[in-house]
């Protein structure tokens, strides 16, 4: 009797598991292209969250842009994502490459921002030097202007 209960319970558990192997879609996006698509998608989502008003004003649709750039459609992206998600090793590899791409882009942006900041600081330093190098007491009278904005005349000194 105990054996029968255990056997029925084991049959019940084994029947509950219906693990189907995910079929490879006909229009599967190759892994290298999927890395590019997911990298771009990550950037677009960030831009969409940060600059929503600008995107709405320009009428730019990030998803449409992505699909046209990589010549894919939403169904193809969804099927490919589902397929790779079921293949953990492949999906993990894809996301590691996406992460690496984003880190490289971030490093490049930081270098560009540092260079722009250096240029701004140099310009600001030049402006400060220029304003300090001019002595108003040594300017010719034609350059001096009184508080009313009229240049001094020779008769005003008499």
For 9-20, the pLDDT digits (tens) are 655 556 655 566
pLDDT tens per residue, range 66-119: 999 999 999 999 999 999 999 889 999 999 999 999 999 999 999 999 999 999
Q: Where are the alpha helices (DSSP H) in the chain?
A: 2-16, 31-50, 52-58, 62-70, 74-86, 88-133
Pair 73, 37: CB distance under 8 Å: no
pLDDT at 111: 95
Q: How far apart are CA 103 and CA 106, in angstroms?
A: 5
Residue ranges covered by each domain of the chain:
25-123
Q: How far apart (Å, rounded) are the C-alpha atoms in residues 45 and 42?
A: 5
């Amino acid at each position: 009797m105990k054996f029968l209960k255990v056997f029925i319970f084991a049959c019940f558990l084994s029947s509950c598991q219906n693990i189907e192997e995910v079929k490879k879609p006909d229009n599967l996006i190759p892994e290298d292209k999927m890395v590019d698509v997911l990298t771009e998608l990550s950037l677009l989502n960030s831009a969409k969250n940060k600059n929503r008003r600008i995107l709405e004003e320009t009428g730019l649709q990030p998803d449409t842009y992505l699909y046209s750039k990589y010549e894919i459609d939403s169904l193809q992206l969804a099927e490919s994502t589902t397929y790779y998600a079921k293949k953990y090793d492949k999906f993990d590899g894809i996301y590691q490459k996406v992460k690496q791409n984003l880190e490289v882009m971030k490093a490049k942006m930081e270098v560009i921002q540092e260079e722009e900041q250096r240029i701004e600081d140099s310009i600001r330093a030049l402006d400060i030097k220029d304003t300090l190098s001019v002595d108003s007491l040594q300017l010719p009278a034609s350059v001096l202007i009184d508080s009313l904005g009229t240049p001094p005349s020779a008769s005003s000194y008499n």
